[in-house]
Structure 1
């Protein structure tokens, strides 16, 4: 370890703390779990995917961390309560909570039934409220405050057609987080959001309708990469490590006075607000110009 790394570790103060990661078994959640474990944090995690979670748990234990895990559907209120009951027995307090679980699928709002609407609200907002309510008493036991990090999305900050209920639920999570940051501020309990955009996750893949997913099978990866580079100013979607790094920052003492905020880990898409880097010489504009339009709409030109 270099002197610089030792200095940053000391300032961050993560070693020896305890965390809960809801949805910490696979994908983005696994990256977060292992980043926390690598920083010296003991972890309790739950996930619906037992196989992936087992790999994550084994890796975290190999790092020398105490780990508790349980296979549950975090959107089931009874299951989430049981998980927190078990966490309270496994650890004498909590310092960090990360609520990663979420997801949706692309469809017109008027095609949704009430079951689908309720499901979107529960898995993108409802369980977060329950998780925070169960976690706060365990954080209070530590007597030194703590950090709760809720995953929201860029869609909570723009009109997301065909993702309306998802976007509304994530917006609710965002403002709930702000409100609780105010309510718990004097106790040193900080709440913040991370708002990714397109990320390499099973959730984003499953959100696509089958016909679109099937169409992607015939598209070269290089072409998909070029499309992402048009859309995301940084040139591509954030890797899992970028999201895990944001969690480490918000969980640590480096962010002691950061609360009620939303960190956009999106490569600049929120800042771009619709400005795409169109090909064929059009450059950064909201709508394709003469260079790209003939390729998009191949009709006879003047």
Structure 2
């Protein structure tokens, strides 16, 4: 452990988290805090802001928190202004905020589509514009980690604008890796798929949400065994571990890359282990499953 801590060299660094109070963001905040990183973060969940800040301070970390909606340009700018007064510079930026609701494109209102773009791409552009000068102040480069999604890499019916916005974040981040490379600032992405979180649960509308809640846990376990090569979805802590790696000196020569933390779902590209086909792995079911479904 001491060997990895020395090689990672996160102790004493300073990080900004956009969306760091609950769910995946909280897991990232606590993981960075345990690694010795001081943190400034914003969120819209006041109760979670308080509990996450308290946990970080118990670790002995310096913490600045603020209620701010990252999708509101004025609130994001205010957060960064206060952060610049709290820290004289930063070493790490993690843009976690994102999300949507599953709905066919032609049924989704124009306002909702605009919100999808701002929540999953627009604010990332603004956040990086604010953060880069703070990263440059340190004089030792830094690391930016943006959250994208598996949906940015496939045709995601029901998530069209969300998928497009995340794809924009992906290519924007790669372009910024090129631009910021001479400053020693690395830009990478994490692409989750199915991860147990309140945000992912909220993305599923009724009546599917109620049907999902009615399905026994063992059914979900079997579904994940069909879909995910590693048989189970990553936890929030697995995503936090990926952030630790990309933020640390262990990844000091890695930039412009997408790290898929999804149990292998992106690698499978739709290959499923159908339950009644004696281990066949194909995008479509074979005779055994077809007989059970329709026979």
Match of 1:165 in 2: 161
Asked whether 1:228 is paired with 2:224, we answer yes
TM-score by length of 1: 0.96
Match of 2:191 in 1: 195
Match of 2:172 in 1: 176
State the 4+ residue runs in structure 1 displaced beyond 3 angstroms.
none
1:263 to 259, 266, 291: 259
Please tell me whether the aligned partners of residues 195 and 264 of structure 1 are also in contact (alpha carbons under 8 angstroms).
Answer: yes
Q: Report the more deviating stretch, 281-290 or 19-28.
A: 281-290
Shift of 1:294: 2.0
Q: Cα deviations across residues 157-177 of structure 1 (Å, max 9, x unaligned)?
A: 011011000000000000000
CA shift in 2, pair 1:7/1:282, >3 Å: closer
Match of 1:34 in 2: 30
Distance in 2 (CA, whole Å) between partners of 1:219 and 1:8 is 41
Match of 2:285 in 1: 288
SS at match of 1:288: coil
Count of aligned positions: 294
Shift of 1:209: 1.2
Match of 2:13 in 1: 17
Question: Which sections of structure 1, spanning at least 5 residues, go unmatched?
Answer: none
Question: Which sections of structure 2, spanning at least 5 residues, go unmatched?
Answer: none
Asked whether 1:55 is paired with 2:51, we answer yes
Please tell me whether the aligned partners of residues 229 and 277 of structure 1 are also in contact (alpha carbons under 8 angstroms).
Answer: yes
SS at match of 2:156: coil
TM-score by length of 2: 0.98
Distance in 2 (CA, whole Å) between partners of 1:183 and 1:64 is 35
1:88 to 67, 84, 88: 84
SS at match of 1:246: helix
Match of 1:111 in 2: 107
Q: Report the more deviating stretch, 46-55 or 169-178.
A: 46-55
Q: Report the more deviating stretch, 149-158 or 211-220.
A: 211-220
Asked whether 1:215 is paired with 2:198, we answer no
